Amino acid sequence: MSSGTVTPYRSGLRTGRDGFAQLVRAEWTKFRTVRGWLIGMMVAALVIVLLGLLSASGSQTSCGGPSDVCPAVPVGPGGEAVEDKFYFVHRSLAGDGGITVRMTSMTGQIRLPDITPGTRRVVPGVEPWAKAGVMIKDGTRQGSAYAATMITGGHGVRMQHDFTEDVAGRPGGVSAASPRWLRLTRSGEELTGYESADGAHWTKVGTARLAGLPATVQVGLFVASPGDLTVKQTDLGGSTVQNRFAEATAAFDQVSLEGKVSGGAWSRDDIGVTREPDGSPHHPGGVVESGGTFTVTGVGDIAPLADGQTIESTLTGVLTGLIVVIVVAVMFITSEHRRGLIRTSLLASPRRGRVLAAKAVVIAAVTFVAGLAGAGVVVPLGTWILRAGGNYVLPVSLLTESRVVVGVAALLAVAAVFALALGALFRRSAAAVTAAIAAIVLPHILATASVLPAGAAQWLLRLTPAAGFAIQQSIPEYPQVIGHYVPQAGYYPLAPWAGFAVLCGYAVLALGLAVFMLRRRDV
């Protein structure tokens, strides 16, 4: 047969499209046609749900007392749990107006642990975040909207509102020798704080907009002092936290009010004071008025609350689920290398980077769906079980809850891409799985298991791919609230999306390197 007489073959087949979408579809077909991988993803979702529900149902809290009902925790205007406990000397203000005072002293005392049992050991001292100043508040209900200008024990003048917001004024304390003036005015929904050293030259500290503030509000003087928080490092990198009673006392004079203020005596409210079983107040505050000078003593704090369980405490299964995801993601590529199937893949798409990219899209999408199913069930259901068990779960907005659920799904998805890239680089399952677990799972365990000092734990969660776990933190860290903000307590050193971005960076880097190597190598 001579080639000269032959008509070359022409196919009657209609040529299909040659795009990235076709590759993604092919990779999805590959994934869904291996039953073990599908089952693996379902197991990951199931592990997240079951481990979470198991730990949630194992957690019970009882407050004792005749009714065995825990006291209600006030909620701030933003929906967050708050501590709203202070001594308030106030009057009603209808419409616009304001208050101006001079503060001449701020003192306090702290009760240290008894050395001789039965003998109280009380030392003078003011907590750094003890607060005294002027406030305009929507009534006396705990958790209602407010704005306040204040002097703090150690952080100078501040303007705070609605529990979470804090603006710094000038630093420094107050004494009889150097008194300080504070002013707070209302104009509609806008409240403005000022300070002055002499009552003549005023400096604006900040402005707060309190949406929906009613026409009549309470205006007056307040004092509060949070407990004394002491953190002791223990031998193994853990720590113990002690909180001791503290109170603050401030002297105000030259009190002047503007606007339509109610007449008669000042109202006095020990807002949020703890009651003894017989109804008497425990650690009450108080006020002494003499010759226009008000000496007010207060206990407590006006701040977001961090005591309680968080919605992410239902996510105990994520780490185990992640390991399953890592194994599946690694196998998705290493099984091709092991059997030479990668050659078939590259024959179908000689543009090699696109093959890995399509694989990454598929594994990310599949993992995201599995993660969303797992977290989407366990977070609301686990929280419900926790609350049914008498536990106090710190409330968060729907937006935050969604971010936690979607974030965990995204965390798993990006970790899967990272594991896939390691699989492409190592081309061996065992090595790639080990590397992925060492990079993501291990640092998180080390950082949260009280084996490392807090500083080291925080650096691990800044620098390693485990930084991505920050996405599940629902309660933020507030600089104006003293707390033990360490990974062991669920506080990540990076903001949720910043931590997630670190993980994404690692995934992009690993995938880029994998594409580079795949392009260079003979397969």
Region of residue 162 (left: phi > 0; alpha: psi -120 to 50; beta: else)? left
Residues touching another protein, count (CB under 8 A): 43
CB of 308 to another protein, least distance (A): 47
Alpha-carbon torsion, ordered 407, 409, 415, 419, to 10 deg: -170
Residues 394-423 within binding reach of another protein (CB under 8 A): none
In this chain, which stretch among 30-38, 46-54, 490-498, 505-513 interacts with another protein, using CB under 8 A?
Answer: 30-38
Residue placing its CB nearer to another protein in the complex, 16 or 279: 16
Please give the radius of gyration of the chain, using alpha carbons only, rounded to the nearest integer.
Answer: 31
The H or E element containing residue 146 is strand 146-152
Rounded to 5 degrees, φ, ψ at 220 are 175, -160
**CB of 512 within 8 A of CB of 504?**
no
**CB of 146 within 8 A of CB of 184?**
no
Write the single-letter amino acid at 464. Answer: T
CB of 39 to another protein, least distance (A): 11
Strand segments (E) across 113-145:
121-124, 131-137
Query: Out of 18, 114, 189, 307, which residue is the one contacting another protein (CB under 8 A)?
Result: 18
Residues 141-160 within binding reach of another protein (CB under 8 A): none
The H or E element containing residue 125 is none
Q: Is 23 in the site for another protein (CB under 8 A)?
A: yes
Contact track, another protein, 323-362, x by CB under 8 A: ------------xx--xxx-xxxxxxxxx-----------
The H or E element containing residue 256 is strand 246-261
Residue placing its CB nearer to another protein in the complex, 68 or 522: 522
Q: Is 11 in the site for another protein (CB under 8 A)?
A: yes
Residue placing its CB nearer to another protein in the complex, 236 or 523: 523
Residue placing its CB nearer to another protein in the complex, 120 or 521: 521
Query: Exposure of 184 by Cβ count < 10 A (0-12 exposed, 13-18 middle, 19+ buried)?
Result: buried
Contact track, another protein, 36-75, x by CB under 8 A: x---------------------------------------
Residue placing its CB nearer to another protein in the complex, 35 or 201: 35
In this chain, which stretch among 25-33, 73-81, 120-128, 379-387 interacts with another protein, using CB under 8 A?
Answer: 25-33
In this chain, which stretch among 10-18, 125-133, 250-258, 487-495 interacts with another protein, using CB under 8 A?
Answer: 10-18
Residues ≥6 apart with Cβ < 8 Å to 346:
352, 355, 523
Q: Is 7 in the site for another protein (CB under 8 A)?
A: yes
Query: Rounded to whole angstroms, how far apart are CA atoms 148 and 158?
Result: 8
Tokens 């105000």 belong to residue = 252
**Token duo for residue 91:** 């009057």
Residues 77-106 within binding reach of another protein (CB under 8 A): none
Residue placing its CB nearer to another protein in the complex, 342 or 433: 342
Contact residues for another protein (CB under 8 A)?
Answer: 1, 3, 5-13, 15-19, 22-23, 25-27, 29-30, 33-36, 335-336, 339-341, 343-351, 522-523
